[in-house]
Structure formats: C-alpha cells, structure tokens
Amino acid sequence: MRDVELKMKERASELLKSGEVARVIGWKKGEFYHDPQPASFESVEELNAFVYNGFCGANLSKYLIQMSKKEGKTAIFLKPCDSYSFNQLVKEHRIVRENIHVIAIECQGKLDIEKIKAKGFDFVTEVEENGDEIAVASLYGNGAVQKDEVLLGKCETCKGKVHQVKDEEIILHEMQAGKKNRFEEVEKLEAMTEDERFAFWREQLQKCIRCNACRNVCPACSCLKCVFDNPASGIAAKANDDKFEEQLFHIIRAFHVSGRCTDCGECSRVCPQNIPLHLLNRKFIKDIDGLYGEYQAGETAEGKTPLTSYTEGDAEPNDVVNGEVR
Amino acid sequence: MQRIGVFICWCGSNIAATVDVEKVAEVIKSEPGVVYSVNYQYMCSENGQQLIKNAIKEHNLTGIVVGACSPRMHEATFRKAAESVGLNPYMVEIANIREHCSWIHKDMAEATEKAIILVRTAIAKVKLNAPLTAGESPVVKRALVIGGGIAGIQAALDIADAGFEVDIVEKNATIGGRMAQLDKTFPTLDCSACILTPKMVDCAQHEKIDILSYSEIEDVKGFVGNFSVKIRRKARYVDETKCTGCKICMEKCPSKKGLNDFNMNLNTRPAIHIPFAQAIPNVAVIDPAQCIKLKTGKCGICQKFCGVGAIDYEQKDTFIERQYGAIVVATGFKPISLDAFNEYGYTENKDVITSLELERLMNAAGPSNGVLVRPSDGQHPKVITFIQCVGSRDTSGCGKPYCSKICCMYTAKHAMLIREKYPDTEVHVFYIDVRTPGKNYDEFFRRAVEQYGVDYIKGMVGKVYNENGKLMVQGSNLIDNEQVTIESDLVVLAAAIEPEPSVRKVATLLTASIDTNNFLTESHAKLRPVESPTAGVYLAGVCQGPKDIPETVSQASACAAKVIGLLVKDKLKTNPCVATPDEMMCNGCSQCANVCAYGAITYVDKEFRLGGGKTEVRRVASVNPAVCQGCGACTVTCPSGAMDLKGFSSKQIMSEVEAICKM
Amino acid sequence: MTKEERIENIKRLSGTDVRKCMKCGKCSGRCPAFKDMDIKPHQFVSMLEKGKIEELLECKAIWNCLSCMACVERCPRGVAPASVVEAVRDTVVRMQGKNGIKAEDVPPIVDELIPQQLLVSAYRKYNK
Amino acid sequence: MQNVTEKKEFTPNIVAFCCNWCSYAGADLAGSSRLSYPANVKIIRVPCSCRVNPSFILKAYQQGADGVILCGCHPGDCHYVTGNYYTRRRMSLLFSFLNYMGIEKERTRVEWVSAAEGARFSAVMNDFVQKITELGENKRLTDLRVKEGE
C-alpha cells in the first residue's frame, strides 16, 4: 500500500502545482496511525500530512457537496465503492461533475481497528498488507494477522473492485472482491420469527443515542436540512425523547435512502454503539432487487430510482408482506 | 390564536337519530380554540348557512368546522357561505359524521363518541389551515367528443350551435354508431335512419364541427380547460378530400368476401367499401386485412377505376395534436359475447340470432332487403321465439349483473313489427320481468300483447336444441307451473349490452374512473350524473350506464350544456391545494419531478443569502400551480420534507392522526 | 327441532342463498325430470324462502330429482335449487332415523351397467 | 384497591387513510348504502394514496393506533394517473421492512377500493378490524425501550 500512497501523493502534488485543481480531497494523518482523517489539501505543503493506508475506510464523496461549490476544480480520491456514492450524488444534482477530477484508487479492503485490537495489538504503529496476510507493528510488539479476520464489516461483503466513474486511476495491484454474500445476514434475520426479529432490533436500536453519526456520514443523507430538523414535517426531533422515536428515526432514515443507498456501509462503520445499521438498508436493497429487478444505486448518474418509477404489474403490498411475492 | 366555530348538523334524522348532536356540540365547546359550538337541523339549508355566516361575523371566527355529511357533498356549499362573509373558504373543514358515522353505526353512544373524535380531528386540522387563494388558468374554446354515435352527434351539435368548435373522433369509418344499424325505434316506431341521418348530415355541414372518422385518441395531457390530445388518424387508403362516394370501386373490387360488420356479419362486402348508403363522411375505406393489393401487392383495380385518384395504397397512420377545453366521452356499447351461453345454441344454430342481428334482417337496407327470412335457408319463419335477459341480471359469472334496460322495449317492438308485417307468424317471448318505465312505454308493451297477440311466457328458457331441423325451445311457464317446449323456426336472443371495450383505454388516458363493469363513473349519481369525477370530462350514452335512445340524447344534451357552461368562461379558477416547495429546505435532487405525472415541477437556480454578506446559488424545485393537480406524490418522495401540499400539509395530517388516535 | 329451526337447518344444509333467486324459472325450464317432479325446482327455492317446508318434506320430487345439477348449472343468480332438494331429502332421511344405506353395503347391490351418475345420485340420496 | 380487574374486550383503534376520489367516495357509498363496519375505524381524507407518508403511518402507531389501512383507487384507475403506482411500491417496501423489524405483518394493509365499491369498503373494514382484534394491541411500535416491569 505504501507504493500506492506515494503515487497518490505525487499525483496530488502535480495537480496542485500545475493549478489544474484548487484542492485535493484525501486523508491526512490522525492522532493515531489507525485513524486517518478525511481532509482537503490546498497546497503542496499541506500534502506532508497526506496518508493512504489500510485504515482509510471513510467514503469521501459526500465532502464534495460543499467542496464542489468552491472556486476552482476539486480532485478526489475514490475507492471503488465510493464511486457509487459519487454517481448517486451527481444524479441528484448535489455535486457538479464538471468541477471534479476523479482519481480512482486501489483498495484491498479496509481494516477494522477494533478487530485488530482484539487480536492483541494495541497502539498499532503500522500495518503492511501482504496478500491475505497483514503484518502489524504495535507498541506492544509485532506480528501477523489474517486479513479476512480484521476487515471492516463493509469490506467483507465488498461489492466489487470496479470504479463506476473515473478521470484517471492509480491502481498498482490487482484487487479482489469480497467473499461474503451481502444478503446473508439479512436472510438470517428474515428466517427468524417476528418475535425474534423484534427482539433483535429492540436490543440493537435501544442502544441508539441519537448522535446522528450515521446520518452525518451517509452520502445519501445529503439533505440541506434533515427532515428530522424540519418543523413542517411533523416528525422533527433533536433527540429520541421517547422510546418510539429511535425506531421512527431509523425506519424513516432507511426509507428515505431506499433506492438511493449504495450500500457503502459507512453508517455501521461510524456507529459508536455498533448497531448494524447497514442491515436496515440492505433489507430495502434486497427487496428492491427481488421485486423490481436488480438495481444498484450509483451504477450510473442517470435514470430514476426504483421508488420514483413503477410498472403496471408491480407486486401488491399485502402479497409482498405475506411472502406471496419474493 | 385561532377562533374556531363548530356547527353540528342533524341532517334531519339522518345524523340526529344515531348521533347525540347536542352532546357533540356541548363536548366540543370545551376544546381549546373553540369559541362557538352549535347544532342545527339542516346546516346546508338557507337558514343553516345564515347561522354559520352570522356566527362567523359575531364571533369573529378564524376557522370553522361543520360536522355534517361528506365533504364531497357540501364542502363547496359551506366554503361559499364562509367566503360570502369574508372568511377564506379554505378555513372551512368538514367532519363527515353522516356517511362515515351515523349511517353505518347503530349504537348511539358509539356513534356519538366517534362523531366527537371526527369533529376533534377536523378541529385539529383547521387550526393549521392557512387561507388559500385559487389561481386562474385559461380555457381553450374547443370541445372534443369521443364517439360519433347518436350521443356524440347530439352533444357535438348542441355545443357547436352555441358557437364553439367541436371535433368528433370516431373509430369507425363513419359516424352514426349503433343507432344507424337499427330498423325502427320504440315507442313511436319511426325509422331509425330517418331520424338519425339528418343529424349526421347536420354534423357534416356544420361549420363548427370537424368529423375525424376512422380515428382514435392516442394520448391525453393537460387538465380541465386545457387538454392536449393526440389523435391517430388511421390509414383508410382513400384520400378523404378526393373521394366522392361514387362507389365504382365497390363495384369493381374483386375481393368481395369480407364479412359485413355493419350488417352484423350476416352478409359480405368488398374490401373497399362505404359502410352504408348514408355514411358520413361518404368516403370509402379499405380493409387492409382483405385487400388483395395491400396483402400481395398485386391488383390495384380500384385505383384504376377511381375517377378522382382518391385511392392511395401508401397511406400511413398520421397523428394530429389538438387542444381542447372539455371532453365528452360517448363511446357507446356492444352486445356481449354469447360464448358462455351454450344452452341457447347461438354458436351452433344459424337460426339462433341476437336482437341486433334481427334489426339488420328487418331493415330495408339490410342483407335481406327488409324481408324477414331465416339465415339458414332464407325461408320465412313461422314461429319465432324471443328469449329475454340473455346474460343480463346474471351473477353467475357468465353474463352481467345489471339489467341492460333496453331489451324489454325492443323485444316488444320486434314482436309487434313482425306480427304487423307477417300476421301468420306466431311470436313467443320468454321473460323474467317486463320492465317498461318511461313515457308511453308500458302502453307500447301492452299493445304488443293486446293488439298484436304476442305470447308472453313468464319463465326462462332452459335449453334450445335442434330436432329434425326445428329449434326446440324448452322453458318454464311459471304462471301455469308447466314446462313448455316450443318448436320454433327462429330464436332471437336479447343479449346483454356492455360498454364498448375500448372505453377502458379511453378512461385510462383521461384518468376518468370506471367501474368493474367498464361503465364510466359519474361524479354523483343524482346531482352530477353527466360529469366524470375528472374535471372537464363529461359522459354521454351507454358508456355511463345502459340506456335507450331518448335517454342517451337527453344525456348528450345535458353534457353539451355542461360543456358550454365551461367553454364560455375565459378563465377557470384552479385548485389552490397544490404542492409547494420550501426553498430553504430543497436539495434540488429532482426526485419530486420524477414522480410528477403532470410535469408541474421544474428547477431553477436561485441565489440565497448565507449571512455575512455571502450568497449561494442553489438549484431548487418550482411548482407550476396551474398544472399541479395536488396529488402529493412529490411530498412523500422528498426526503427532507421540503415539498408540502397546501390544504393537506404534513403537519395538518399529522395533527389529524394525533387527534383521531385519541380514544 | 321447531319448524323455524328446521327451516334454518335446511337453508344451512343447502348452502345456497334462496333470497338471491329472481324467479326466472330457468331451473325448471331446464329440468329433465320436470314431469316427475310434483314440486318443481323453482318452487323448492321459493317455498323454502317462504318457509313452506311441510309440503316439501312430504313431496315425491325429492326422490325423483336426478341430481343432474342442470338447474344449478343454469341458474343466472348462483342459486342451487338441486342443493335445496338435497337438503330437504337429507332432512327427511334424518327424520326417518338411521335407515339409510351404508357405503360398504353398496357393492353387492349394484351391477356394472348402472351409470356412474345414478350411483352418485343414489349415494347422495341414501347414505345420510 | 382493585382486586379484580375485569377483562375488557379489546377494541382496536384503526386509522384508515382514504384517497379522496375512490376510497373516500367508496366509504361514502358504504355509508349511504348503510353498510356497517365497526365504529373504531376512523378515516382521514388525503387527496391520493400517494400523499401518505410512511411517517404518518408510524405517527398513528405512536399515538396508539392498533392498525393502519391505506386505501386508494385501483392501480390503473388513479385519479392522478400514476399516484397509486408509487404508493404500491412504497408500501410494499415499507411493510416488508416493518415486518423485518418484527412488526406484525397483518398490522398494516393496503386495499384498493373504487368509488363504486361501497360494499367492498365495508367488507374490507370488517375484515381488517377482525384481523387486528385477533392480533391484539399494538405494542411493538410504541414500547421499544420499555423493559420488563417498567
């Protein structure tokens, strides 16, 4: 990954120097090795802090909503999965395609620091990917872990390694798609009884502290002002002031992004309470695929979403819920 | 602070018998915001309305709730009353305590409790109502009539006589419709053609009427006052402007074996033909499925003989698009298929015919030149048996559940005419009931029995079978409690009628509602019987329900009156309950435009102040209030809730939900 | 069982709604055993509707009905006169006590030439 | 102190959203034909079924509704041409989703009722009330954080 990082830095520097772009969006060093932060670099000097490593899981596309409005062109590094979000934002007129230079970058799957910690490595100082194995250096010693065991949840079911949009690319090694079926967990829940499902989600959702991290990170939750902050909507609420609202919030949020969610998995990644929020969105994706044909949001930047189109022979809601249509 | 007045109507005993109206008015008095609450026998009456008006003035009301019948009934009445004393009409809400309460519940305590909840719900809504003002939209002073039968002809003539342009779109090659196929008409027995063809000619000669025959509507856009209709002019392979109707082509055409649909397929006609002698327009048409030239490329005889060069084998369907202010649907009917009624042997026996076929057999211009003969052997039938209600009033699934309305009368007519013309003929009629409401109708039927000696048998036929070349009609004689078998030469079935099937497509294009029997639904069975719930669409003839010629003509004229009433207006008030975006919330994501069926939403780049002297240009939705119909599809699609619907805002519905859920 | 209960019972047994009858007589018009029916198919329906069951319980028609179901097939209103006939017949049989025929007794007394329909019809009549 | 609490028969609270053009008119027809259905069904008029936001349905549950039924014109007959087609997709996904979260699948329903189907409206409501009565009170969309004994 080191070589990729160097190449990216070099390319960013070129673009800024030549004045082709006014800024580059990438990652900069965080407090620790394992928490690189999304950042906008406006000069070659600033690039000293530039990093790209196994912990750069963040989807940067959402930052473009603000950045692409600024004077001059913006360059952005997009991993394959981020490119879907990018297209979806273009489709919704949230970002201006012409103002953006997309650099497609290599991604070998990003890592979950919690999982690495659990393997006994605290205060990680560096990781290096060697195929299926990862060499970890930490303050408490060095060692190796199997990559499969420490991937971010969202990378375990990676949708693929093909960029849906790019102006240029920095891909030095072959990339591999995820091994897990992304609907496996959804199916497991579907196979449960209503009571079990209810118990599962009650357990999960009652952890919600309504920090809004999921909403803030979600590239589909790109509203200027959220419906939960809209007094005219009748559901405005700053926090979950009763037991109902945490459910309401997540149902409405999932419904609002249905047909638009690219399954980037950022919601679950950022949730401080580790609620598997992606399983909400994936249910919608699975149902849409089953009922209205395979649909991947962000595959293109044009066309209608499944919820803004219809066919005359669509399934009836009562039949769908009774399992007569799947 | 809102000052709400509540008015509870007794509707005579309609509400008051099951809802304790006094209690409702009393309980509601203590609702927050309610400053006046009263009950009265008939709120919609002059006095009731006056009571409302006085209260508005006296108590300085900012909004009112009327607990009465359905808003579909009197919402407009009460809105008008409020407006007359200066209260915005959209500050009126109706609590439907009749149709949705008193009429369906029997227990007084239960109904009263529900009425209170419904009134509270309306109060919750009205508190959030905002005064709305209707916009205006222009009216295109031209009407479209779909269907050129007697209904369409009458409607077109009446509208045109009032000075408005009318187009008649007729899918067949000529106007005239079913009435043109009939021989005589009841109850006066005048010849159908003699009264219809002058009207057809009037249409053709009327400077305001444009007949688009052999045409169908393809697409409809727009709304009342401003429809845009795409019309397909099917290729007739004959230049309408050149053809003189000389019929030499018909004589020379070598392909003469096409079934003559005008004569109910009882004889044949050439591939190029004029449907009947008085056709309007009197222009030939080529049946492409039958024409040798069009099928094989070889022939072209009609073109050779046509003196005016009207034949054009290359003709293609063309499309025209025209604007209309109003649309009359007059698509008519057809007899149902009798495939499911094998007990009557219609498909097996040539001499079992439908009444419409009999019309053609008795018509002087028909296949037998008006001489009544059996289709099988051309012999004059000596015993004729009529069977009524074939497929009508049938809930078994084979036929139609409704009464076709016209059969009793035309059967009496047929029986009478046959007995008159051929006194040696024996005529039997099997009936379940004879229904003859109408001026001079029962007298007409009685004449058939008393004067012409037609044998009416109360009972239905169980089967018709062939025995030694005779049709054996076996049925009940319920009066004598007998089973009878009548040896007949000809059996005539009064087949049920159903709306012309193409009406389904027309209804979809017009978004006009239609019932399970394919009859178009009127806006109100009694008070708005010729209007479709879709504004600007009017219904004439059997497309709305079974009816005879006098009724059809009356309904067509009623439609015309409605259309004229619309077209004389220069501008229409538009529905103010339209979608409206909150620009400060709008993302400009285009999702709302994707679901708008009317194309009412466009996007504009607008500059917004950000504070600190900075501005930002954003793409935001903009709704055309003249085009928006107020369905609300966009409001749900909008993720941020920026799009709301006036009169049915999210907050209003939410507070209704809240109020209605409180037990 | 009171008369009212018996009427209700016959209605229930028949499984048909006699009020749907529009008195067109098509059932009797089609009945192949019309001559042998002392009470005609349409009368079964109207007499049951009016509660005149004494005559029905004593009539011969319940034994002469062929159970051919033509009346059921032809009824435009979905009423089943034959089911009424059958319900009355069952009632009579039950009133007589258990002198009906049992399924296992059937084979010795039928011969191969008896038409299937007749067998089914007989079975309907006698096994209750 | 109350020793014996009499078991009151459960009467569910039902909210019906009806589109103005078909279902509300169908309900009117049920009324004018005197076709009864239980009084605990209460109707909210909306211009089109597509006006019904999932949040309205959830709000109803929050406020104590035991069942929510959404009625519109038959697909293809929508007064607004395509409104109910969107409703159909939205509600298919929403209902499936609610069930996925463990909400009883019978609790929410969509029915198409035309202006001419008064009898059907009444039959649908009777059936729905019966089903919800069998299903019992709505507890799942209100008490997510209520723990035992709370």
Q: What is the pLDDT of residues D18-41, one digit of tens each?
A: 999 999 999 999 999 999 999 999
Q: Quick one: B493 and B411 in the same domain?
A: yes
- Tokens 């049951």 sit on residue: C48
Would you place residue D146 in the very low, low, confident or very high pLDDT band (cuts 50, 70, 90)? very low
Cβ-nearest to B103 among D32, D60, D64: D32
Specify the pLDDT at position B597.
82
Which of A227, A235, A308 comes nearest B594 by C-beta? Answer: A308
Q: Which amino acid is at B527?
A: L
Nearest of B2, B149, B240, B235 to residue B502 by alpha carbon: B149
Closest to B513 (Cβ–Cβ): which among D21, D45, D65? D21
Average pLDDT of span B220-241? 93
- A106 and A204 in one domain? no
Q: Is B51 or D63 the better-scoring residue by pLDDT?
A: B51
- Residue B138, strand partner residues: B571
Residue B102 is given by DSSP the state I
Q: What is the DSSP string of A138-169?
A: ETTEEEEEEHHHHB-HHHHT---S--SS-SEE
Sign of the CA dihedral B558, B559, B563, B566? Answer: positive
Same domain, B467 and B514: no
Q: Please tell me which of the candidates A198, A311, A321 has its beta carbon nearest to residue D95.
A: A321
Domain that holds residue A265: 184-321
Q: What is the distance in angstroms between the Cα of A256 and the nearest Cα belonging to chain B?
A: 5
The verdict on A163 and A204 lying in the same domain is no
Please give the structure tokens belonging to residue D7. Answer: 């078991």
Contact B601, B623 (CB under 8 A): yes
Asked if C31 and C84 touch (Cβ cutoff 8 Å), the reply is no
pLDDT at D2: 45
Are the CB atoms for A308 and B590 separated by under 8 Å? no
Query: Which contiguous run of DSSP H or E holds residue A90?
Result: helix A80-91
Residue B31's domain is classified under what CATH number? 3.40.50
Q: Is the C-alpha dihedral spanning A16, A17, A19, A20 positive or negative?
A: negative
Residue A145 lies in a domain: no
| d(CA D135, nearest CA chain B) in Å | 18
Q: What is the largest CA-CA distance in chain C?
A: 44
Around Cβ D10, how many Cβ atoms within 10 Å?
Answer: 12
Task: Answer yes or no: do C26 and B476 touch at CB < 8 A.
Answer: yes
Residues of chain A with pLDDT under 70: 1, 238-244, 324-326
Distance of residue A241 Cα from the nearest chain D Cα, in angstroms: 11
Question: In the prediction, which pLDDT does C111 show?
Answer: 67
Asked if residue B592 lies in contact with residue B621, where contact means CB atoms within 8 angstroms, the answer is yes
C-beta atoms of D78 and B511 within 8 A: yes
Over pLDDT 90: what percentage of chain B? Answer: 89
Q: Is a pLDDT exceeding 70 seen at residue B133? A: yes
Amino acid at B109: A
B554's tokens: 């009356």
**In the prediction, which pLDDT does A121 show?**
87
Give chain D positions within 8 Å (CB) of A306.
89
What are the chain C neighbours of B478 within 8 Å (beta carbons)? 23, 25, 28, 42
Q: How far apart are CA B624 and CA D118, in angstroms?
A: 35
Tokens representing residue B169 in the block = 């779109």
Interface test with A, best of D82, D90, D101 (most A CBs within 10 A): D101
Same domain, yes or no: B152 and B293: no
Instruction: Give the number of domains in chain B.
Output: 5
How far does the CA of residue C4 sit from the closest CA of chain B (Å)? 27
Kindly state the average pLDDT of the residues C82-87. Answer: 94
Last residue of a domain, one of B546, B567, B588: B567
Contacting subunits of D (3+ beta carbon pairs below 8 A): A, B
Shortest Cα–Cα distance, D42 to chain A (Å): 20
Quick one: how far is CA B291 from the chain centroid? 36
**Looking at chain A, which subunits does it touch, using at least 3 CB pairs closer than 8 Å as the criterion?**
B, D
> Is the ipTM, as predicted for this complex, more than 0.90?
no
* Encoded tokens for B404: 């076709």
Contacts of B461 in chain C (CB under 8 A): 26, 29
**What is the CA angle B655-B660-B661, rounded to 5?**
100
Task: Decide if B594 and A230 are in contact by the 8 Å CB cutoff.
Answer: no
The answer on A202 and A156 residing in a single domain is: no
- Which of B396, B408, B428, B484 to mutate to probe the C interface, most C CBs <10 Å? B396
Distance CA(A274)–CA(A55), nearest Å, equals: 18
Residue of chain B nearest A229, judged by CA positions: B640
- Among D82, D91, D144, the residue with its CB nearest the CB of A247 is D144
Q: Which residue has the tokens 């007995």?
A: B419
Q: Are residues A166 and A212 in the same domain?
A: no
Touching B (3+ Cβ pairs <8 A), the chains are A, C, D
CB within 8 Å: B658 and D59:
yes
Distance (Å) from the alpha carbon of D138 to chain B's nearest alpha carbon: 13
User: If pLDDT is split at 50, 70 and 90, which confidence band does B624 have?
Assistant: confident
CATH, domain D14-135, list 3.50.50.60, 3.40.430.10, 3.40.50.300, 3.40.50.960 = 3.40.50.960
Residue C100 has pLDDT above 70, yes or no: no
Across the interface, do D102 and A202 touch by the CB < 8 Å criterion? yes
The residue type of A83 is S
Q: Which of C71, C66, C10, D118 is nearest to B396 (CA)?
A: C71
Q: How far apart are the first and last CA of chain B?
A: 26
pLDDT at residue B232, rounded to an integer: 97
Residues of A in contact with D102 (CB under 8 A): 194-202
pLDDT at D148: 34
pLDDT mean across residues, chain B:
94
More confident: B52 or D146: B52
* Whether B301 and B228 share a structural domain: no
Tokens linked to C44: 């079964």
| A-chain residues near B604 (CB < 8 A) | none
> How many domains in chain A?
2
Predicted pLDDT of residue B514: 81
Last residue of a domain, one of B63, B97, B126: B126
Please report, for residues B395, C21, C83, D142, the alpha-carbon distance to residue C18 in angstroms, rounded to integers and kept in the order given: 14, 6, 11, 49
Q: Please answer yes or no on whether B633 and D24 come within 8 Å at the CB atom.
A: no
Would the CB atoms of C29 and B461 count as touching at under 8 Å? Answer: yes
Which of D21, D31, D81 lies at the smallest CB-CB distance from B98? D31
> Is C29 within 8 Å of B399 when comparing Cβ atoms?
no
Contact B655 A234 (CB under 8 A): yes
By the 8 A CB rule, do B290 and B217 touch?
Answer: no
Best B106, B223, B506, B513 residue to mutate vs chain D (most D CBs within 10 Å): B513
Same domain flag for A165 and A218: no
Q: Do B476 and C77 touch (CB under 8 A)?
A: no
Neighbours of A263 (CB within 10 A): 20
Q: B504-546: per-residue pLDDT in tens?
A: 999 988 878 788 899 998 877 777 899 987 889 999 999 999 9
Judge if A161 and A227 occupy the same domain: no
- Do the Cβ atoms of B400 and B498 come closer than 8 Å? yes
Residue A55 Cα to chain centre, angstroms: 13
Interface contact A256-B639, CB threshold 8 A: yes
Judged by average pLDDT, the poorest of A246-250, B317-321, B565-569, C9-13 is A246-250
pLDDT at B616: 87
Residues 13-72 in C contacting B (C-alpha not used; CB under 8 Å)? 20, 22-31, 34-35, 40, 42-43, 70
- Closest-CA residue to D102 (of A202, A316, A205): A202
Chain C residue closest to B475 (CA)? C29
Judge whether B655 and B589 are in contact, CB under 8 Å: no
Q: What pLDDT, in 10s, does the model give residues B406-456?
A: 999 999 999 999 999 999 999 999 999 999 999 999 999 999 999 999 999
Report the CATH number of the C3-99 domain: 1.10.1060.10
Task: Look at D86 and B637 and tell me if their CB atoms are within 8 Å.
Answer: yes
Q: Is residue A213 part of a domain?
A: yes
The answer to whether D86 and B633 are in contact (CB under 8 A) is: yes
Do A215 and A274 fall into the same domain? yes
**Exposure string for B38-67, b = 16+ CB within 10 A, e = fewer:** bbbeebbeeebbebbbebbeeeebbbbbbb
Give the mutation candidate from B504, B580, B585 for the A interface (greatest A CB count, under 10 A).
Answer: B585
CA distance A231 to chain D (A): 13
Q: Is the Cβ pair B594, A92 closer than 8 Å?
A: no
Residue B386 and residue B373 share a domain: yes
SS3 A127: strand
B347 and B493 assigned to the same domain:
yes
Listed in sequence order, the residues at least 6 apart from A279 whose beta carbon sits closer than 8 Å to its beta carbon are: A185, A186, A189, A268
D149 pLDDT band (50/70/90 cuts)? very low
**Does A96 lie in the same domain as A52?**
yes
Minimum-distance CB partner of D109 among A243, A252, A318: A318
Q: Are residues A70 and A198 in the same domain?
A: no
Phi/psi zone of residue A270: left (φ > 0), alpha (ψ -120 to 50 degrees), beta?
alpha
Q: Number of CB pairs < 8 Å for B and C?
A: 73
Q: In percent, how much of chain B has pLDDT > 70?
A: 100
Contact between A194 and D104 using a beta-carbon 8 Å cutoff = yes
Considering the domain architecture, whether residues A164 and A235 belong to the same structural domain is answered as no
Interface with B, mutate which of D9, D18, D48, D125 (most B CBs under 10 A): D48
Identify whether the C-beta of residue C34 lies closer than 8 Å to the C-beta of residue C40.
yes
Residue B357 counted as domain residue: yes
Residue B662 belongs to a domain: no
Q: With beta carbons under 8 A apart, name residues in chain B contacting C27.
A: 462, 476
Q: Residue B193's domain spans which residues?
A: 142-234+317-332+500-567
Closest residue in D to B663 (Cα) is D13
What's the length of chain B?
663
Between residues 634 and 663 of chain B, which touch chain A (CB distance below 8 Å)?
A: 637, 639-642, 644, 649-651, 653-655
Chain A 79-138, residues with CB within 8 Å of chain B CB atoms: 91-94
Dist. CA B86–CA B360, nearest whole Å: 64
